[in-house]
Amino acid sequence: MWFWHLVVDYPACSVILCRFCLFYVLSTGSRYISKAAAKAQLDYDYDGPLMKTTVPGPRSQNVGAVNFFCNYDDSRGNYLVDVDGNRMLDLYTQISSIPIGYNHPALLKLMANPNNLSTFVNRPALGILPPENFPDKITESLISVAPSGMTRVQTMACGSCSNENAFKSMFIWYRNKERGHNSPSEEDLSTCMINQAPGCPDLSILSFMGGFHGRTMGCLATTHSKIIHKLDVPSFDWPIAPFPRLQYPLEEFTRENAQEEARCLEEVEDLIVKWRQKGRPVAGIVIEPIQAEGGDNHASPDFFRKLRGIARKHGCAFHADEVQTGGGSTGKFWAHEHWGMEDPADIVSFSKKLLSGGYFYRDELQPYRIFNTWMGDPSKNLFLAEVLNVIRRENLLEEVARSGKALLDGLYDLQAQFPGLLSRARGQGTFCAVDVCDAATRDRILLQTRDKGVILGGCGESSIRFRPALIFRDYHVHLFLNIFSDVLAHNK
Amino acid sequence: MWFWHLVVDYPACSVILCRFCLFYVLSTGSRYISKAAAKAQLDYDYDGPLMKTTVPGPRSQNVGAVNFFCNYDDSRGNYLVDVDGNRMLDLYTQISSIPIGYNHPALLKLMANPNNLSTFVNRPALGILPPENFPDKITESLISVAPSGMTRVQTMACGSCSNENAFKSMFIWYRNKERGHNSPSEEDLSTCMINQAPGCPDLSILSFMGGFHGRTMGCLATTHSKIIHKLDVPSFDWPIAPFPRLQYPLEEFTRENAQEEARCLEEVEDLIVKWRQKGRPVAGIVIEPIQAEGGDNHASPDFFRKLRGIARKHGCAFHADEVQTGGGSTGKFWAHEHWGMEDPADIVSFSKKLLSGGYFYRDELQPYRIFNTWMGDPSKNLFLAEVLNVIRRENLLEEVARSGKALLDGLYDLQAQFPGLLSRARGQGTFCAVDVCDAATRDRILLQTRDKGVILGGCGESSIRFRPALIFRDYHVHLFLNIFSDVLAHNK
């Protein structure tokens, strides 16, 4: 009975005793309540942080590499609750992977639909035995947000598998192009079984210093963000280009930044030529629209347009890795839409906020031969379809643009107020970042902010990254800025 | 109301109208009902195949690479139902990945528990923000079936990610061993970021011809089962040893098979020495207890014991890949338990029947530095814990040993009856296979058997593999053997 009430009637249950409602009542009685007007709030959100202990608290003992243990039952909306009852405004959202907050009523309701039961209980081998309606379901979900110029998608279980298989698609496409037809030679067939060329060809993927594309061995050969990811793991001799290092504020460094981007593009072309001469032609170029793990490094739309042109000129596939940037947090569903191109990429990979993984691809990169047992998970697609409904119904991309602007304006103010601490505030939508003077100070600020009830993430050398859910609103921004400002004042 | 009934009261609802019960009534009224005694049957299973069309039927149009589309709502127990209403006894189970059949009432019931809701809705970044009770949950599930000598497990989302990260663990362990301490040199740190040695060392994994370990690029370098997997994808220069090709019946070829295994082991040692001399030392050896995709190739416990000894002698880690063999279908929970060793492996990887992925490891292969966003999925662990309860409660490993013996005895009979068609019947538990005279005949037999209501899988050149769920019983065996015998008679 209690359960049935909870998942079916949830949004209207504020006077009935249930776990979530009870906490709502508790929270409004708390002395840590925020100043934001109650009417402005999401009815499924808490109204502010509530800290009972430092974090990790006593119940998160022996955490090791773990930050702290969480109470996901009690977490709601923008707020993550830990096992000590500390309730924190979450601007990191499980490494940017929670699209519409915790325990969103629409997702809870979905689980009460009996038609969805068998999708959770019977995970199919999607590549050979898909559910009856799966093509329609994919059309409703992923195809409804397909990047411009793309009508095909390959689902996968996680971000690394998505990029691994995207790379394979590019290699197969490139070799078919080299052969001019689809029939491999006898030598191709015999050598591939023993890992030797030409069957396993000496092709490469060009990536960028500071990039992150995952940690499986193919992905890892294109990842260059942190030593800890790469040390001791064998890799491929693939070319690595510099990613532009822009100077901020952008409007003061127009000429310098244009020169920097031109330098990087020139290096890309040099590497493509050099690797072709080495006998390891570049089959594809992989790049994040914003380098995330590597420090929230941005480049201009002009840079990406020119890079795409270079890929086309040299016959390389162009792969936009939107695993972290995709899903709406830049204010557009795909970050590469900001480039303003009709035909920006051959492959767009995704995961995280899309709840499982995969990649969109252009027709000629057809994925016959891309296969594994599960190839994704229809139960995650169920959630995704509902997430997309919520995004559309609640105009969340507009909300993101609005709250993102408030967040970035706030960061500009704070870096003006604390010039010795903060610099290079930057962002698109709520996908924002700011640099701290050094790594030790950054790490200290992250912990102090957390102890005051706000979870942030670090990235790059000494950056703080902001990755709130798409339901992050203006008043959450102000709540955060008040707390962050206090912490910065203590670190002046 | 209907839903609440369905998921909470399901096992007792046989007189009330609900989707599953209705179908139970329908099925008992079918004219294709099997001859097995009704009392012997599982109450959540169908009682026999029911074929309305050939497969794929009219509603499975435009299937492409897909076998056919499925109705997972109506599938039950050992029976997969397609969109045309054909009900097939499933001896392939989504490439060996359905442990206790379709829509098992224990799993449906689990979804009615409100305490489980937030585990489905809020997928955490397990490595940093695990749920409160997650260590206990893992202890109840994975640790309760940990292979002998292992008390640690790393969860992952799929089989390929499991093996990729297991390989990385072995490389890191090997380099730490080479260094004699944990501090990498300045050169290690600077070279790893650009994919160069010594930071990205020229280490290798030794694998076996015919092996299958996944299709991401690290895994694929150890996979050698089919050309279609490997063609056009760059790979590593890693050593590949021959896997024994045993002659059957085993008791007639004792001497020949022992010689064959000795030859393969000698080659393994030669390769280890040769690759060390080439400057690409073997950090680890990966092997399946039974080569599955490669054709259900078995070797003796003696072979594996000696291989383990060779790994130890040469300082290589030993990795048993139990992605397909693990989970009970050989009659023991792990196939390598048949080797009778206290300490068989350093790493045991799993996926498929375990519902998500991961690997067990010995203490010294500690996985600090193994990380990604999700690192598994607690909702899959919920199901796994319940699957393990069912396995224990219903003594399913004993059932597997019993039905596996019936299946193998039946295959022996059939190969005696059809010596021109079948040979080399072999198996452990229900993990059985038989060779067909050629690939074309094998493929035709698979389709004809399917049209008579039994789903089988192919593997290797011309083998048929049997991968029923753990709830496959004697009477299912006889039902299958009757149908299979008819098909074989038509192909004599």
List the B457-459 sheet strands across, edge first.
Answer: B422-428, B431-436, B463-466, B457-459
Please judge whether A164 and B217 are an interchain contact, meaning their C-beta atoms are less than 8 angstroms apart. Answer: yes
The model's pLDDT over B244-265, given as tens digits with 9 standing for 90+, comes to 999 999 999 999 999 999 999 9
Rounded CA gap, B442 and B56, in Å?
A: 18
Arithmetic mean of pLDDT over chain A: 90
Q: A-chain residues within 8 Å CB-CB of B218?
A: 216-218
CA B299 – CA B469 distance, rounded (Å): 24
Question: Are residues B158 and A159, on separate chains, in Cβ contact within 8 Å?
Answer: no
Asked if A22 reaches chain B (Cβ–Cβ under 8 Å), the answer is no
Collapsing DSSP states into helix, strand and coil, what is residue A125?
Answer: coil
pLDDT digits (tens, 9 = 90+) for A306-318: 999 999 999 999 9
User: Is A4 an interface residue toward B (CB < 8 Å)?
Assistant: yes
Instruction: Name, in order, each residue with C-beta under 8 angstroms of B29's C-beta and a sequence gap of 6 or more.
Output: none
B183 touches chain A (CB under 8 A): no
d(CA B316, CA A336): 45
Question: pLDDT of B302-335, one tens digit each?
Answer: 999 999 999 999 999 999 999 999 999 999 999 9
Judge: B159–A373 Cβ closer than 8 Å, yes or no.
yes
% of chain B surpassing 90 pLDDT: 83
Does B54 have pLDDT greater than 90? no
Q: Does B193 touch chain A (CB under 8 A)?
A: yes
Phi, psi of A313 (to 5 degrees): -60, -40
Taken in order A70, A72, A76, A78, the sign of the CA dihedral is: positive
* Model confidence band, residue B453 (pLDDT cutoffs 50, 70, 90): very high
Nearest partner of B88 among B57, B64, B43, B42, judged by Cα: B57
Cα A347 to Cα A342: distance, rounded to the nearest angstrom: 14
CB-nearest to A66 from B108, B130, B224 is B130
Please tell me which residue, A107 or A50, carries the higher pLDDT value: A107
Token pair in block for residue B5: 């009934």
Residue A65 binned pLDDT confidence (cut-offs 50, 70, 90):
confident
- Of A233-247, B47-61, B464-478, the range with the lowest mean pLDDT is B47-61
Q: For residue A149, what pLDDT is reported? A: 86
| Res. A131 pLDDT band, cuts 50 70 90 | very high
Kindly tell me the number of DSSP H helices and DSSP E strands found in chain B.
16, 14
Mean pLDDT for the stretch of residues B410-438: 98
Region B162-179 average pLDDT = 96
Nearest to A89 by CA among A51, A133, A122, A44: A51
What average pLDDT score do residues B183-209 get?
Answer: 97
Q: Does A199 touch chain B (CB under 8 A)?
A: yes
Rounded to the nearest angstrom, the minimum Cα separation between B39 and chain A is 26
A contact residues 113-152, partner B, Cβ 8 Å cutoff: 113-115, 117-125, 127-132, 134
Beta carbons of B348 and B147 less than 8 angstroms apart: yes
Per-residue model confidence as pLDDT tens digits over A240-275: 999 999 999 999 999 999 999 999 999 999 999 999
Question: Would you state the pLDDT for residue B63?
Answer: 64
Task: Please check whether residue A17 touches B, CB under 8 A.
Answer: no
Distance from CA of A476 to the nearest CA of B (A): 21
* Cβ pair B218:A216 closer than 8 A: yes
| B260-286 pLDDT tens trace | 999 999 999 999 999 999 999 999 999
Catalytic residue among B28, B151, B254, B373: B373
Q: How far, in Å, CA of B423 to CA of A103, rounded?
A: 56
Q: Which of B137, B332, B352, B353 is catalytic?
A: B352
Whether the predicted pLDDT of B28 surpasses 70: no
Task: Provide mean pLDDT across the span A109-125.
Answer: 94
Which of B396 and A19 is assigned the larger pLDDT? B396
> A182 CB near a chain B CB, below 8 Å?
no
User: Catalytic positions of A, please?
Assistant: 212, 321, 352, 373
Chain B positions touching A107 (Cβ under 8 A) are 121
Q: Tell me the average pLDDT across B157-184.
A: 94
The pLDDT of residue B102 is above 80 = yes
Is B234 in CB contact (< 8 Å) with chain A? yes
H-run or E-run covering A287: strand A282-287
Task: Give the CA distances from residue B137 to residues B98, B212, B341, B392, in Å, rounded to whole numbers and listed in that order.
Answer: 21, 30, 28, 17
Q: What is the pLDDT of residues B116-154, one digit of tens each?
A: 999 999 999 999 999 998 999 999 999 999 999 898 999
pLDDT on residue B62: 62
CA distance A358 to A142: 10
pLDDT at residue B218 is higher than 50 = yes
**B465 and B457 Cβ atoms separated by less than 8 Å:** yes
CB B268 within 8 Å of CB B244: no
Region A94-107: mean pLDDT is 97
Please return the burial class of A313, using the count of CB atoms within 10 Å of its CB with bins 0-12, 13-18 and 19+. Answer: exposed
* Among the partner residues A130, A232, A371, nearest to B69 by beta-carbon distance: A130
Q: How confident is the prediction for chain B on average, in pLDDT?
A: 90
pLDDT for residue A7 is more than 70: no
**Interface contact flag, B171 A234, Cβ < 8 Å:** yes
Q: What's at B236, amino acid-wise?
A: F
Contact assignment for B193 to A209 by CB distance below 8 Å: yes
Interface test with B, best of A118, A137, A267, A387 (most B CBs within 10 A): A118
State yes or no: pLDDT of A440 exceeds 80: yes
Option in B71, B112, B172 nearest A132 (CB)? B71
